[in-house]
Chains A and B, each alone.
Chain A
Amino acid sequence: MLDAGSVLTALILASCYAGNDDDPKGQEGGADQGNDDPDEIEGPDECVDTKNYFREDVWAPLLSTKCFACHNPGGQAAKSNLVLQGTDYPGYVEANYQTVQNIARLEIEGVSLLLLKPSAAIEHGGGVQIEPDSPEYELLSEMVERFDAPVHCVDDSDIKAFYADIEVLDEVGTLRKAVFDIAGRMPTPEEIAMVEGKGLAAIDPVLDVVMHEDAFYVRIKEIYNDVMHTDAYLVGDDAVGTVDMTRFPNARWFDMLPEEQIADARNKTNDAIAREPLEIIASVVSRDRPFSEVLTANFTLVNPWSARSYGISLDHFTDPNDPNEWKPATFDGFPHSGLLTTSVFLNRYPTTPTNRNRARSRVFYKFFLATDVLRLAARPIDVSSIADFNPTLYNPNCSVCHDYVDPLAGAFQNFDDTGRYRPENQWFTDMRPPGFEDIQIPYEANQTALQWLVPHLVADEKFALSVVHTVYTGLTGQEPLLEPIDADAPDYLQRIKAFEAQDYTFKQIAQAFSEQNQEIRVVFKELVKTEWYRAVDSEVPLSDERTAELQDMGTAHLLSPEMLHRRIIATTGVPWRRGDTSVLLSADFFKFFYGGIDSASVTTRLTEMNGVMANIADRMSNEVACLATANDFAKPVDQRLLFPLVERGALPGTPEGDDAIRANVQHLHEHLLGEVLDDDDPEIDRTIALFEAVLDDGRTRLVDPIAPLPTALAGACQSTMDPATGMPWPPGMEVVEDADYTVRAWMAVVTYLLGDYRYLYE
């Protein structure tokens, strides 16, 4: 029977290992290297990958020689359902694998067509091509079995070899990176002490605490919005517009308020409805529930503002004016299924009378089952061959996708094009029955089809894998590697190695997630310990082939506007703002120029620095250095982030001055860039050289007889009040004058470091 996942991803339904290190075939991943004599069949004591089996034991000796002559696009069987491609077709092996798999799953009285046809047990234009008791028949029979239970062989020595000689962050470096990625802050000295010298496992208890902070829930909502883009509705009253006004006639309750109150109430209500899907996610995670509950929860979440729209009593709330108080709520007779049945999700992914919920099905596969159905559609189709009645059901050009999409689309049958619940809707008789793989939604569950089916979906191992993929992308900005399908591509071997290594690693993590009650924190903790996350360099020179294998090793990703905004606050103590506006988060300023999204028309982030972004980074480094330097010097030394080891006015040329300057430069490299350098490192020297050069130049110009520089700092760069309180500094603490130019020299150093690769990337 059809196995939806095995077409694209190398699923381990039954994984096996090729043997121990003494087994040379094991060193090659256990793959059967081919069998030139079709009369011999390999014994069962070696692991043979299903795809390799197809390629070497079925396609090469059998299909390409006996079947292809007729079963090709121009052959006598060109109109049949088994049309094989030749070597001139890109990815022909993968294409033929899928085609043969589609045929194999069709059965008559429990026997696959793949066996019935060539043996002429049923009508076959080519007559008897394979005798029922022949070795060829055995090969096809085993192929059918393997389609049913795919085998993917991985020798973990292959995996270890792939990760060999990769230099990775130590536990402190990993902690720093992980805490920033997860909670947008730097680890505390106490947290660092808990892991330093104690190995990677010491990170787990620290991260367990970090992942119960509010910042983590903000982050996880951000990660999942990057997938679902439901924040598209955070505009005007767009989210309110998705609410079923027939069921909830009071949705626009705010229109009845006095005019001066309408805008604020409308905005709060709209935000609440727009954020329902993400708040469900945050709630599930914060209550340590199995993550699948984000899709299976039999309630939604409301705050006092959206409660009013839904006609729910405010008695449930402690503070009816607190938009951060969220409570579970159910609607009478409505089959809730977590975020899937929120109005914004259903409207973000609408349907039409001809689409029949296929779009919703497709996104469910993509978001929650780690399957991009559209990748199946990258196969060329020949429109002239689609002359069937109901081609989505009968024509292989169409059914390659629709076999997956249509049954799951049936689960959404009760929700119309604008997401309204319509229990009276019936599924279409000219489409596959609603369900998923072998599971059919029973007729009696028709009115709650989605609610009935979703628990089965989240039990599929692809759900766990989808969580790993989403968290990985959220942490690193990178998509998981795709299994290469073009065997003729010049870098195919390297790409398949990389894919298999990463896929194996991610599936291990998915398994751990499933075994630990679908606790999503497990995924974060395991991912940050992988080489994919921690890699920083190679310990050995790389050949061209090894370079190709390691193309995607490590992160090195440009921080998003949100993450850069957080880093600035965490490391300097000051936000980058103009007035009350955070410039990296505002569409009016630099959000979109710096690669941000609006979840509506701009849904993918820029990951490459361009010239515009380079200038934004330069402006940031100038402005923030101006804001932060004097501010930091104004604080008591034990409260400083940037200059805990030097006082302004410390000049080079004396042992005390030199030591303090060097020590603080060393501190800045670690604090701002995560670089732990020896105090005689060339980079420390480079930074000190910059400090001294700017200092010398400035001090010379201070006494220039013609145009001396002012002794005072420029107004914006002075520190006259505590930014945390808004209160003026006590007398003597403000930093206005800079008669020895040291503040400006440190500003130059801070500018230099804030524009560094290691500050802008992670």
Chain B
Amino acid sequence: MDRRDFMKLASLAGMSIAGAPLLGRAEHGELVDHGRHQAAGDDDYTGPLFVTVQAHGGWDPTLLCDPKGNDLNRSYNVGDIGTAGNIRYAPIASAAAFFGAHYTRMMVINGVDTATNAHDAGQRNCASGRLGEGYPNIAALVAGAGAPQRPMSFISFGPYDRTGGLVAPVRNGNNARLADLSFPDRRNAEDPAAGTYHTETAHAMIRLAREKRAQAMLESNRLPRFRHAISSMLTARSGSKELQRLQDVLPEPHTNALFRQAQLVVAAYKAGIGVSGNLFHSNFDTHGDHDNQQSARMNEIVGLVSFLWEEAERQGVADKLTVLMCSDFGRTPQYNGNAGKDHWSITSMIAMGAGIPGNTVVGMTNDGHDAIPLDPATKQPAADPAQGVRITPAHVHRGLRRVLGLEGSDADRLFPIVLDDELDPFAV
């Protein structure tokens, strides 16, 4: 897209390039093309339930989906490496069950070059496909392109959760208060018989007056930051009534705090008020006692993803679920003096679910856990490494956008991923 078109699109969308306004339909009275899953009227979004699962701190793929078992790993040997279909996995406690249950819906992408050892940059790259600042988490991109007006369109439990102004993120709090939030007009949220603060007619009059006043302010103000704020408020209000639907599908909170993340994201989608989620688990930055700490965190995160799938099955939306697991970067091939591993820019990503070719492994690393350049056409090791392509998070995200139906949408064009080659991990 050239500079002029970009300015025009950004201005039409009321978008802030540096900050964060919305591609909201309240802005200009007509729908911006958000991609295949265009929101309209009472919301007919039928697109994916997309979830990023971020392992914060830099996970070690050799303790999950890119096992080595040589000097790189003191906790197991080559002979201990397991397989599920075409996928090899490290023998950590939960791995066999995890890969056994999900390999048919899973693509492992090894040898992903994040090109950084810095946490902030790595998290951005993992979640958005871009090393530099300013791009949204892909889950926010999906929500913003699909149904930004939903009251819990994008639920985030941790960094990196920038939205690029496409959608307002939602944080979780005390779920016991959701009734209060779902029925803000009731004097007692749990008891409809207790009545409302004003009559139903008065509440309707208040809402109408607010909307008209906000529209008038939007039409009269020219500064983008103000237009954005008013627009995002209008958009937030337009879907907020639907929060009530969550009450019907939200299960009893799980005792595991990580699993509660998954429950909320799935329930929100099921209730028609959510689109995507950014799940988060931390403490992968194992500069000391690596084998014990990293294995424990890996077991927890695969447990989270397994539970996510179970919950999606239970809620009847598993066929819509697509998951991306990733981390800031990887861990060094060698141990440091504290039995730890330090930052290493080569990592792995795992994609699962709807639209993802299952039982596949793309990309590879050598015995020293360095990335092997690929032939972009065949995705096999390049005959001449100097001519090959190293997979980056940008390749993964570009391919994912295609799988998710975002390619060519306004959101995709505003945050383009531009590469010199055609390597697409997800192209069959």
List residues of chain A with CB under 8 Å of any chain B CB: 74, 88, 90-91, 166, 352-355, 374-375, 377-378, 380-384, 401, 478, 481-482, 485-486, 490-491, 494-495, 498, 535-538, 540-542, 544-545, 547-548, 550-558, 587-593, 595, 601-602, 604, 606-616, 618-619, 622-623, 625-626, 682-683, 686-687, 689-690, 693-694, 697-698, 701, 709, 714, 716-717, 744, 747-748, 751-752, 755-757, 760-761
Contact = CB atoms under 8 A, between A and B. Distances in A.
B132 A381 contact: no
B151 A612 contact: yes
Question: Max chain B CB contacts within 10 Å: which of A378, A478, A547, A614?
Answer: A614
Contact of B181 (A552, A593, A747): A593
Nearest to B217: A757
Given A375-B133, A553-B224, 15 more contacts: A352-B340, A481-B18, A491-B3, A555-B225, A556-B223, A608-B169, A609-B232, A611-B236, A612-B243, A615-B184, A615-B243, A683-B216, A697-B201, A714-B197, A757-B214
Given A618-B184, A748-B202, A538 B223 contact: yes
B226 A536 contact: yes
Contacts of B16: 551-552
A544 B206 contact: no
Contacts of A557: 229
A279 B327 CA distance: 37
Question: Max chain B CB contacts within 10 Å: which of A553, A595, A610, A755?
Answer: A610
Interface stretch (B6-14, B46-54, B88-96, B354-362): B6-14
B118 A611 contact: no
B230 A606 contact: no
A612 B232 contact: no
A748 B206 contact: yes
A610 B18 contact: no
Nearest to A538: B222
B185 interface: yes
Nearest to B201: A697
Given A353-B288, A547-B224, A482 B133 contact: yes
A755 B207 CA distance: 9
Contacts of A495: 17-18
Contacts of B225: 550-556
B199 A701 contact: yes
A548 B7 contact: yes
A492 to B, nearest CB: 9
Contacts of A626: 197
Question: Max chain A CB contacts within 10 Å: which of B151, B198, B346?
Answer: B198
Contact of A354 (B19, B287, B386): B287
A491 B3 CA distance: 7
A732 B244 CA distance: 42
Given A88-B420, A384-B370, A587 B206 contact: no
A625 B198 CA distance: 10
Contacts of A478: 19
Contacts of B380: none
A697 B10 contact: no
A535 B151 CA distance: 30
Question: Max chain B CB contacts within 10 Å: which of A354, A485, A537, A682?
Answer: A354
Contacts of B338: 352-354
B223 A536 contact: yes
A622 B198 contact: yes
Contacts of A551: 16-19, 224-225
A618 B226 contact: no
B115 A380 contact: yes
B168 interface: yes
B158 interface: yes
A378 B133 contact: yes
Given A615-B184, A757-B214, A602 B171 contact: yes
A498 B199 CA distance: 49
A477 to B, nearest CB: 10
Contact of B342 (A88, A354, A381, A536): A354
25 contacts: A352-B287, A374-B121, A380-B115, A380-B116, A481-B18, A491-B10, A491-B17, A495-B18, A536-B226, A537-B226, A538-B223, A548-B10, A548-B17, A553-B225, A554-B223, A595-B171, A610-B236, A611-B240, A612-B152, A612-B240, A622-B184, A622-B198, A694-B202, A714-B197, A757-B230
Given A552-B19, A608-B169, A756 B210 contact: yes
Interface extent on B, as a size class? 35 or more
B191 interface: no
B184 A616 contact: yes
Interface string B356-399: 00000000000000100000000000000010000000000000
A555 B243 CA distance: 29
Interface stretch (B64-72, B172-180, B302-310): B172-180
List the 9 shortest-distance A-B pairs measured between CB atoms, nearest first.
Answer: A611-B151, A377-B118, A608-B168, A380-B115, A619-B184, A592-B173, A610-B168, A490-B6, A618-B184
B287 A355 contact: yes
B169 A716 contact: no
Contacts of A380: 115-116, 131
Contacts of B221: 536-537
Contact of A611 (B10, B163, B217, B243): B243
B19 A622 contact: no
Nearest to A381: B115
B344 A383 contact: yes
B222 A541 contact: yes
B248 interface: no
Contacts of B213: 683, 686, 756
Interface string B140-174: 00000000011111000011000100001111111
A381 B115 CA distance: 5
Contacts of A498: 18
B25 interface: no
Contacts of B6: 490-491
A339 B205 CA distance: 53
A694 B18 contact: no
Contacts of A588: 174, 177
B265 interface: no
Contacts of A401: 118
B7 A490 contact: yes
B410 to A, nearest CB: 14
A611 B152 contact: yes
A322 B220 CA distance: 53
A715 B206 CA distance: 22
Contacts of A554: 223, 225-226
Interface string B112-126: 010111111100000
A686 B214 CA distance: 12
B270 interface: no
